[in-house]
Structure 1
Amino acid sequence: MQHRRVTKHSALALAAATLALSLSPLAASAQSAAKDLGLVKQGAETRARAHVEAFRGLSWNGPEQSYTVRDTHIDPDGTEHVRMDRKFKGLRVIGGDLIVSSDARGTLRAMQHTLSRAPEVETKPTVPSLRAVKHAVRANEGSSLLGTPELVVYARQDLPRLAWDVLVVGDEADGTPFERHVIVDAHTGQQLDSWNDIHTAAANGTGKTLYSGNVPLTTNSRTTGGFELKDPTRGNTYTLNMSNRTSGGGIVTDADNTWGNNATSDSASAAADAQYGTAVTWDYFKNVHGRSGIRNDGVGAYNRVHYGRSYANAFWSDSCFCMTYGDGDGRSLRPLVSLDVAGHEMTHGVTSRTAGLIYSGESGGLNEATSDIFGTMVEFHAASGTDVGDYLIGEKVMISRAYLRNMVKPSADGSSADCWYSGVGNLDVHLSSGVANHFYFLLAEGTQSSYGASPTCRSTDTRVATGSDALNGIGRAKAAAIWYRALTTKMTSNTNFAAARRATVAAAEELYGIGSTESTAVARAWTAVNVN
C-alpha cells in the first residue's frame, strides 16, 4: 500500500473537495435558484429605471433626480414590482417613493406614487439646522437630538418644500420611548409635519403562556447546558427579559425546556407568549403570503418582555428591529403579549419594509389599520382554543375595558372613526385607523355575521356609522390577499384612504379579474365607509 504525506496545501484541497461533494443536488439547486432569482431581480430593476426615465410624465422624473431600489417583488406570472426611493440633487424626497410595475415581457403596466408635481426646490436653506433643532426639541419636552439634521425635500403636500428632518428622542409620559421626526421648513422655520418611528399598541391608561395555553415552541440548545428562547427555524428570533428595566436585558433561558406556568408568577410565561406570537406571525406571513420574515430576507426580529415598571403598552421599533412589551399597570391592562398584539407589532415592521406608510395623517391611519388587519389574521391563523380568532384588538390584555379596538364597529370604543370625513386624518392614527378597519371587516364578513352587525356609513356620517345597506363578505383569506398585494405592490409612503381604495381595487382585479365579484366587493366596501 502506497502512503502519501498530506501537506497543508493538499489538506486544503481535500477539504474543498469534501465540501463540494457534501453539497447535495438539492442544495446545489437551491443555490442555482437563488442566483437565478438575483439575476431576475437585477433585470427587473434595470427595466424599472428605464421606465422611470422613458415615462417622465408618469414618474415626475427629472434630470437631477436619482433612485435607490428598496424592494423588488416578482409575481408567479413574471410581473415585476420595483419599489424605489427618490432623491433630488442628492436630497431624500419624503413622499417621493414610487413603484414601477412591468409585465413578464418588461412592458410597463403601472407606476404608483403620490406626487402631484416634480419635487424641484431651491436646495440652499435660509433657516440653519440649529434653529430647526431648537424648534424640534422645544416642541417635544424632554427630548434630545439623535444624529445630525438631514436636509430633505418634503413632498407629502401639493407643493414640495426644502426642509430639515430633525430626529429627536425621549420618553412619553407613560414611559414609551419616542423617536420622532420633526419636519421644519428650511426657509420659514415653520413645522410642516412630525411622526414617530415607535409604533405603539395604543393602550389607554393603562411555553405555558398567559393567553394561548400550552403551545409548542422551537428553542435552541446551549453548549453549556439547558436551552434558550431562540428559534433557529424562524430566522433566529429570540426573546430578552428586560427585568423591568428599559435597557440591557438577557436572553431567556431554561433548564428543562418548559417555559412559564400560565401565570405571571413565572416571568417566563409572558416570554413564552411573545416567542409564540413571533413564531405564529412568521408562519402566517410565510405560509399565506410567501414572505420570509419582516424584511423578507429570512432574518428574524426579536422580543423584549417585562419592559419598564408597570409599563402599560407595547411597541415596534425600527431602530432595534424588535418588539417590546410591558407588563401592564395591573389596573387597566395585563401584560401586552397576546397573539393579536404580537402580530400587530411585527406588521409595523412589514409595513416599514414595504409601503413605508408615514405615521401621521391618513397614511398613519392606514399604517395602524394594516397592523390591526394582520394582527387579527395572525390570531385566526393560530387557531388557538384559548385565544379564539375575532375582530377585537387586545381583548385578552384588557382589565377595565373589553378591548383596545373593535373592527366590527370601530366607533364603539367612543373615539375611533367608522367613516371617512374631511378632517379624519387629523385624528390620532389609532383612531383614524377605524376607517380602514371598518372597510376590511365589511369586505371580509359583510354587514351581518357571527361577529356582530356592522352598519354602513351614510354620506353625512362622520365618526359613527348609521346606515343600513347590506353587503356580503368575500371571506378573510381573499380580503387579506388583496390588502397584502396592495400594501406590497401599490401603496407608497403618502397613500391616503382614496389612494388605498384605488390600490385595493387594482389588487383585487389582478388577483381575481376585472369586474370580478371580489373587485366589486372591494369598491362597495370602500363606498360603505364613505371613501369614493
Structure 2
Amino acid sequence: MTPLYARRNRTTLAIATAVAAGALLATGVTTGASAQTPADTSDGTALAAAPVQLSPAARTSLIKKADAAAPETADEIGLGAEEKLVVRDVIKNADGTTHTRYERTYAGLPVLGGDLVVHETKAGATQGVTKATKATIKVSDVTPDIARSTAEKQAVSAAKAEGSKESAADKAPRKVVWAADGKPALAYETVVGGFQHDGTPQELHVVTDAETGKKLYEWEAVKTGTGNSQYSGKVTIGTSLSGSTYQLNDTSRGAHKTYNLNRGTSGTGTLFTDADDTWGTGAASNTQTAAVDAHYGAQVTWDFYKNVLGRTGIKNNGVAAYSRVHYSSGYVNAFWQDSCFCMTYGDGSGNNKPLTSLDVAGHEMSHGVTANTAGLNYSGESGGLNEATSDIFGTAVEFYAANASDVGDYLIGEKIDINGNGTPLRYMDKPSKDGASKDSWSSSLGSVDVHYSSGPANHFFYLLSEGSGAKTINGVSYNSSTSNGSTVTGIGRDKATKIWYKALTEYMTSTTKYAGARTATLSAASALYGSTSTEYKAVAAAWSGVNVA
C-alpha cells in the first residue's frame, strides 16, 4: 500500500511492479491529438529525441520485432547462456532511435530486479544498455532447500501483521531469482490477499530465500492515496450512448469507464448510466457527483500523457484503465491497483468528501505509469523517486487542466485538508515545511519513509521548473532555497516535465537511486536539448541544489 500521506506507525518495504472534483454538466466526447506526433517544446518546435505517439498497431509491430531479435540482443549485450530477454515495452523517438525495456529470465525463472533498457540508433545499432543491476545473474542451482509451505507461512504471517485475515496465499509461491538487492539468490515469491488495517485491499508480495528461508523483501502491490472533490466546477467529460441511455464510457480515451461500488469492497461495480447526459449536482449526496469527478480526472490524466508526453494510456497501448467510486463506507483513501488496472475512490470521512481531486488522480495513475516503465522499487531511495514521480506528474496534470476552480500549484493534496488545518500534504518548493520531508539528499535518506524521501526529487523538480528564491505563481507564494546556497534559474515546468518523463521511461530502472536519477535526467536533457544546453546545465544545477552530485 502506498498512501498519499505516510502512516508513521509502520514502514512498508515494497517494490513497485508496482479525478477532479466538482459539480458538472457532462456532455459530448472530446477527441485527442493524432497519433505519431512527437512532443513539442514550449515554442512549438518538435524535439528530435521526444517520443512519438505510436498507434496500437505500430507499437505491437515494434514489440514483435524486438521479441524476434531478443536472443540476438541477449548475446550482443553479453548475457549468459541461461539468461533470456522478455520484451516489456518499446519507445520510439522522433529521430528514429528506440529504447526497448526488457525483463529477463534465468533458467526459465523470472529475475526480479533484472530489468534493463537497450538503446538503439535509427539504423538498429546498439548505443548502450541501462541495467537495474550490474551483478552477474547466476545461482548455484535452481532446486530450493526449503519447502513452498515454509515460504507461504512466512508470507501469510507478514500479511496478518498488516491486517489480513487470510490463512493461505492467493497465489502459491513461485520460484524466482532475486536480483534487486545484493547477490542474486534463488527465492520464492508469494502473494497474499485480504484487506489491510484501513480496509484497503491487500496484495502483499513476499520474497523468501529458497535456501535459508530468510525473508528478503516484501511489497504491497495496491497503490493508495487521498484527495478531495467538488472543486473543479462545471466540466465536460466523454460519455457514450447505448440505446436510449448514456454511459460513463469515454470511447475517445481507450473506453475508460466509471463504476459504482455502492459501498462494496470487491468486484467491478455497476456502470454509471443516465437518461439525459447531465451528471451530478456538485454535492456529495448525489451519487453521480463523485463518478463525474473520477471520470474527469481520468480524462485529464489521459490527455496530459497523450498531448504533452506522447503516451497513449498508462501502458502506452491505447487501452484505458477504469474507475470505481463509493468504495466501502467512510473510507478515507483512494488506491491504484495494477492487478485490476483500475483506480478506486472512497467517499471520505462521513461519506461527505469523495477522494477524487485532480492531483490525487494524476498522482495515483502515475503509479501505474511507473509500474509499466521503470518499475522503481518501492523502498529506500528508489521508493522516494517512485513517490516523487507521482507527485511530479500529479502536479503537471493539475497545471495542464487549467481549471479555474482548482488552479495548478506545487502543493500536493491541497484540497484534502487531511491535516485538519487547511495545509497541504507536501510542498515541492520546500518539502520540510510538512514537518517530515527532506529538502535535500543525505546518506541516511534511504532509511526514511518513501513519502518523505521523495522530498529532494520534488524539490529538484520545483527548482528546475521555477528556480530558487521568492515568487508567486497562480496566487500561491513560494520561497525555495538550495542546500549549497546557489541560485538556480528555472527552465519552465513543460521542459522539466519532459526531461523527467524521458529519464523515467528510457534511463531509469527498478533499482535507480538519487545519483542514478541525476545521471538519467542529465542523459534525458542531453538527448532533448544538447549536452551544452541551458537545460542540461539547469538540471545539473538543480541537483546540486538538493545535494545530489
TM-score bracket for this pair, using the shorter chain length = 0.7 to 0.9
Q: Which amino acid aligns with 2:175?
A: L
**Hey, what's the Cα distance between the residues in 2 that align with 1:417 and 1:160?**
32
Tell me if the contact between 2:226 and 2:360 (Cα under 8 Å) persists in the aligned partners: no
**Hey, what's the Cα distance between the residues in 1 that align with 2:350 and 2:432?**
26
Candidates 460, 478, 490, aligned match of 1:452: 478
Q: Which amino acid aligns with 1:104?
A: K
| C-alpha distance after superposition, 1:147-204 (max 9, x if no partner) | 111111111123111111111123222111221111111111111111111111168x
Candidates 90, 95, 109, aligned match of 1:72: 90
| Pair 1:94-2:120 in alignment | no
**Hey, what's the Cα distance between the residues in 1 that align with 2:444 and 2:217?**
16
- Which residue does the alignment assign to 2:531? 514
Please give the secondary structure, in 2, of the residue aligned with 1:233. Answer: helix
Cα–Cα, structure 1 residues 352 and 234, in superposed 2: closer, same or farther, change >3 Å?
Answer: same
Q: Which amino acid aligns with 2:181?
A: Q
With CA pairs under 8 Å and 6+ residues apart, which has the higher RCO, 1 or 2?
2
Candidates 516, 530, 535, aligned match of 1:499: 516
| Pair 1:199-2:223 in alignment | yes
| C-alpha distance after superposition, 1:334-364 (max 9, x if no partner) | 3210011111111111111111112222222
**Hey, what's the Cα distance between the residues in 1 that align with 2:123 and 2:185?**
38
Please give the secondary structure, in 2, of the residue aligned with 1:171. Answer: coil
**Hey, what's the Cα distance between the residues in 1 that align with 2:232 and 2:343?**
18
- Which residue does the alignment assign to 1:11? none
- Which residue does the alignment assign to 1:321? 341
Tell me how far 1:117 sits from its aligned partner.
Answer: 1.7
**Hey, what's the Cα distance between the residues in 1 that align with 2:397 and 2:314?**
14
**Within-5 A mapping of 1:319-468:** 319-330=339-350, 334-398=353-417, 400-401=420-421, 402-448=423-469, 449-450=471-472, 451-458=477-484, 468=485
- Which residue does the alignment assign to 2:137? 119
Tell me how far 1:427 sits from its aligned partner.
Answer: 2.3
Please give the secondary structure, in 1, of the residue aligned with 2:234. Answer: coil
Candidates 280, 284, 299, aligned match of 1:279: 299
**Hey, what's the Cα distance between the residues in 1 that align with 2:312 and 2:440?**
34
Cα–Cα, structure 1 residues 498 and 143, in superposed 2: closer, same or farther, change >3 Å?
Answer: farther
**Hey, what's the Cα distance between the residues in 2 that align with 1:112 and 1:357?**
14
Tell me if the contact between 2:327 and 2:346 (Cα under 8 Å) persists in the aligned partners: yes
**Hey, what's the Cα distance between the residues in 2 that align with 1:471 and 1:36?**
41
Tell me if the contact between 1:115 and 1:158 (Cα under 8 Å) persists in the aligned partners: no
- Which residue does the alignment assign to 1:484? 501
Tell me if the contact between 1:361 and 1:429 (Cα under 8 Å) persists in the aligned partners: yes
Tell me how far 1:55 sits from its aligned partner.
Answer: 3.2
Tell me how far 1:134 sits from its aligned partner.
Answer: 0.8
Please give the secondary structure, in 2, of the residue aligned with 1:484. Answer: helix
Tell me if the contact between 1:334 and 1:398 (Cα under 8 Å) persists in the aligned partners: no
Tell me if the contact between 2:91 and 2:99 (Cα under 8 Å) persists in the aligned partners: yes
Tell me how far 1:36 sits from its aligned partner.
Answer: 6.4
Q: Which amino acid aligns with 2:338?
A: D
Q: Which amino acid aligns with 1:299?
A: V
Tell me how far 1:97 sits from its aligned partner.
Answer: 0.5
Please give the secondary structure, in 1, of the residue aligned with 2:308. Answer: helix
Tell me if the contact between 1:344 and 1:372 (Cα under 8 Å) persists in the aligned partners: yes
Q: Which amino acid aligns with 1:493?
A: S
Tell me how far 1:382 sits from its aligned partner.
Answer: 0.5
Which one has a bigger Cα radius of gyration?
Answer: 1
**Hey, what's the Cα distance between the residues in 1 that align with 2:208 and 2:62?**
41
Tell me if the contact between 1:88 and 1:153 (Cα under 8 Å) persists in the aligned partners: yes
> Between Structure 1 and Structure 2, which shows a larger proportion of helix residues?
1
- Which residue does the alignment assign to 1:17? none
Instruction: State which drifts further: 429-438 or 338-347.
Output: 429-438
Scaled by the length of structure 2, what TM-score is found? Answer: 0.84
Candidates 258, 268, 282, aligned match of 1:239: 258
Scaled by the length of structure 1, what TM-score is found? Answer: 0.87
**Hey, what's the Cα distance between the residues in 1 that align with 2:68 and 2:462?**
39
What is the aligned length? 484
Tell me how far 1:128 sits from its aligned partner.
Answer: 1.4
Q: Which amino acid aligns with 1:115?
A: T
| C-alpha distance after superposition, 1:274-315 (max 9, x if no partner) | 000001111111111111111111111111111111111111
**Within-5 A mapping of 1:180-199:** 180-199=204-223
- Which residue does the alignment assign to 2:311? 291
- Which residue does the alignment assign to 2:22? none
Tell me if the contact between 2:259 and 2:271 (Cα under 8 Å) persists in the aligned partners: yes
Gaps of 5+ in 1: 1-25, 459-467
Tell me how far 1:39 sits from its aligned partner.
Answer: 4.8
**Hey, what's the Cα distance between the residues in 1 that align with 2:337 and 2:320?**
14
Please give the secondary structure, in 2, of the residue aligned with 1:182. Answer: strand
| C-alpha distance after superposition, 1:457-480 (max 9, x if no partner) | 25xxxxxxxxx3211111000001
Please give the secondary structure, in 2, of the residue aligned with 1:531. Answer: coil
**Hey, what's the Cα distance between the residues in 1 that align with 2:410 and 2:481?**
15
- Which residue does the alignment assign to 2:45? none
Tell me if the contact between 1:45 and 1:72 (Cα under 8 Å) persists in the aligned partners: no
